[in-house]
């Protein structure tokens, strides 16, 4: 199927293009980029006044399938991802059963391909069987079935030696570890960030050290082994600094943060809104600023949503009882764009790099560029359009978001995968 995306501002951080151009898509690939391309015999998508960019790639989400389809499944999840401008997503293995073997990996890939919206789904396998942190999962077989990384996300790899062995073993198969860096002992019974707000609300707090102790450990193990480590959802000032220092001395560490850590703080918890319960917790303004600075100077490589849909029954309860997580696909762009680009911290090209080009590079998957010959995985954006978040209209089954009712700048107009328009607002 051929498609001409006419007259948009094409931004491709990978090739350095930033100009008003036409993009011709043929056979699912970017065929030509240029001025006033011939539109004869092709479908035309008018993009004047819009931005045309490589589709977003989410390194970190939860699609809940198999096992918790009441929260989300591969159909609703990939549709929601498309609405958010994502053309590829990596789903974490904390499903039921856990994605710790090739059969589950194959189930996810096949269901996504046959019933999903068209968004590429790259499963992340578990580091350990059952995510129990004892025996290594069959990383080789899962890799053969299609995983791109391993993680026990939702839980840390508590035992440092298992982490060390998994690093060595996974590397053999070209797989890297995505670490949920959290010291469970330090978290204790905490339900929000420990600070003045937790004191005021009388909610048990989680010290920053719970995250930073494990980030430090993960970095040191990776450094000693000379292997790769990717740190998930970095949220603290100290965590950003640890990554910065490690990168400076050559450790093979990469890191992501999430839109909510650059747009919201623990003050949002005032009033006990359970939609603000997330792990790691919303931190303080200084941490928010540090995450932004980390994105700006390259310490933090990518923005990942940590899309974590939950049923409303799991949120309409006491704060202590509420599940942790934010349904993030459909707000990722507008929230990040407002907090980073509109606020003057980075260019739109810089944001596209964090949401598309960098994740493609880290994961080693196609996409993240609009260079000729690349897959036509494309997002069309209207960065200046005002959007008021309405969670009741989310495509995701999870309507859990602290951004509901708030106004941001940046709309996703169309999502194209392999040259096919899979979502158009």
Partner 1 sequence: MKRKDLLGLHGVSREEITEILDAALTMRQVLRSGNKKTAHLQGKSIVTLFYENSTRTRMSFELASKYMSAAAANIAASASSVSKGETLIDTGVTLDQMGTDVIIIRHPMSGAPALLARHVRASVINAGDGMNEHPTQALLDMLTMREHLGALTGIKVAICGDVMHSRVARSNIYGLTAMGASVVLCAPPTLIPVHIERLGCTVAPTIEDACEGADVVMGLRIQRERQQKGLFPSVAEYCDNWEITPQRVALAKKDALVMHPGPMNRGVEIASSVADSAQSVIAQQVESGVAVRMALLYMLTRKEVQA
What residues line the site for partner 1 (CB under 8 A)? 194-196, 198-205, 271-272, 313, 316-321
Q: What's phi and psi for 324, nearest 5 deg?
A: -85, 135
Instruction: Using the minimum distance from each CB to partner 1, give the nearer residue, 70 or 196.
Output: 196
Structural tokens at position 185: 């002992």
Report in angstroms how near the CB of residue 184 gets to partner 1 at its nearest: 16
List the strands of the sheet with 56-61, edge to edge: 56-61, 86-91, 120-125, 149-150, 176-179, 229-231, 253-257, 302-303
**Two tokens at 371?**
């260079």
| Comparison of 205 and 402: residue with beta carbon closer to partner 1 | 205
Residue 6: strand pairing partners: 46
Asked about 306 being catalytic, the answer comes back as yes
- Other Cβ atoms within 10 Å of 415 Cβ, number: 27
Least separation, in Å, of the C-beta of 155 and partner 1?
21
* Residue 412 beta carbon to partner 1: minimum distance, rounded to whole angstroms: 32
Rounded Cα–Cα distance for residues 283 and 330 (Å): 22
- The values of phi and psi at residue 285, to 5°, are -55, -40
Type and span of the H or E element at 177: strand 176-179
Q: Which is nearer to partner 1, 18 or 273 (CB)?
A: 273
- Write down the catalytic residue from 22, 306, 377, 382: 306
Nearer CB in complex with partner 1: 28/188: 188
CB proximity list for 382: less than 8 A, separation 6 or greater: 49, 50, 51, 410, 411, 413
Q: How far is the CB of 202 from partner 1 (least distance, A)?
A: 3
Residue number, 169 or 319, with CB nearest to partner 1: 319
Nearest approach in angstroms of CB 278 to partner 1 is 16
Backbone phi and psi for residue 169, each to the nearest 5 degrees, phi listed first:
-70, -45
Neighbours of 172 (CB within 10 A): 10
Q: How many CA atoms are closer than 13 Å to the CA of 193, on its beta-carbon side?
A: 26
386 preceded by a cis bond (ω within 30 of 0)? no
**Which CB atom, from 89 or from 269, has the smaller least distance to partner 1?**
269
Residue 129 C-alpha from the chain's centroid: 24
Q: Shortest approach of partner 1 to residue 195 CB, angstroms? A: 6
Catalytically annotated residues: 306
């Amino acid at each position: 199927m051929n498609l001409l995306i006419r007259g948009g501002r094409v931004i491709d951080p990978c090739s350095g293009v930033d100009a008003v151009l036409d993009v011709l898509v043929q056979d699912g690939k970017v065929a030509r980029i240029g001025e006033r391309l011939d539109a004869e015999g092709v479908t035309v998508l008018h993009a004047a006044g819009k931005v045309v960019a490589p589709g977003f790639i989410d390194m970190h989400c939860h699609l809940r399938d198999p096992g918790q389809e009441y929260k989300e499944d591969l159909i609703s999840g990939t549709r929601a991802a498309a609405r958010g401008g994502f053309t590829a997503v990596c789903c974490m293995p904390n499903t039921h059963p856990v994605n710790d073997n090739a059969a589950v990996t194959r189930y996810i890939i096949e269901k996504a391909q046959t019933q999903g919206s068209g968004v590429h789904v790259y499963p992340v396998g578990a580091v350990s069987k059952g995510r129990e942190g004892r025996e290594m999962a069959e990383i080789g077989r899962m890799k053969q079935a299609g995983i791109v990384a391993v993680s026990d996300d939702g839980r840390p790899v508590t035992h440092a030696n298992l982490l060390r062995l998994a690093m060595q073993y996974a590397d053999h198969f070209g797989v890297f570890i995505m670490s949920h860096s959290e010291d469970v002992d330090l978290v204790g019974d905490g339900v929000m960030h420990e600070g003045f707000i937790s004191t005021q609300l009388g909610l048990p707090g989680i010290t920053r050290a719970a995250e930073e102790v494990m980030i430090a450990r993960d970095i040191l193990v990776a450094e000693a082994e000379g292997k790769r480590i990717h740190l998930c959802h970095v949220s603290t000032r100290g965590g950003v600094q640890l990554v910065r220092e490690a990168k400076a001395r050559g450790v093979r560490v990469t890191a992501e943060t999430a839109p909510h850590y650059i747009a919201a703080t623990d003050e949002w918890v005032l009033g006990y809104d359970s939609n603000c319960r997330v792990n790691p917790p919303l931190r303080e303004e200084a941490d928010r600023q540090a995450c932004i600075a980390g994105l700006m100077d390259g310490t933090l490589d990518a923005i990942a949503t940590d899309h974590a849909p939950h049923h409303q029954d799991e949120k309409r309860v006491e704060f202590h009882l509420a599940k942790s997580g934010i349904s993030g696909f459909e707000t990722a762009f507008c929230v990040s764009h407002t907090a980073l680009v509109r606020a003057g911290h980075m260019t739109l090209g810089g944001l596209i790099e964090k949401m598309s080009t960098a994740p493609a590079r880290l994961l080693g998957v196609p996409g993240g560029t609009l260079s000729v010959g690349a897959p036509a995985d494309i997002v069309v954006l209207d960065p200046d359009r005002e959007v008021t978040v309405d969670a009741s209209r989310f495509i995701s089954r999870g309507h859990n978001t602290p951004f509901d009712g708030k106004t941001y700048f940046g709309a996703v107009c169309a999502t194209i995968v392999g040259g096919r328009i899979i979502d158009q607002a």
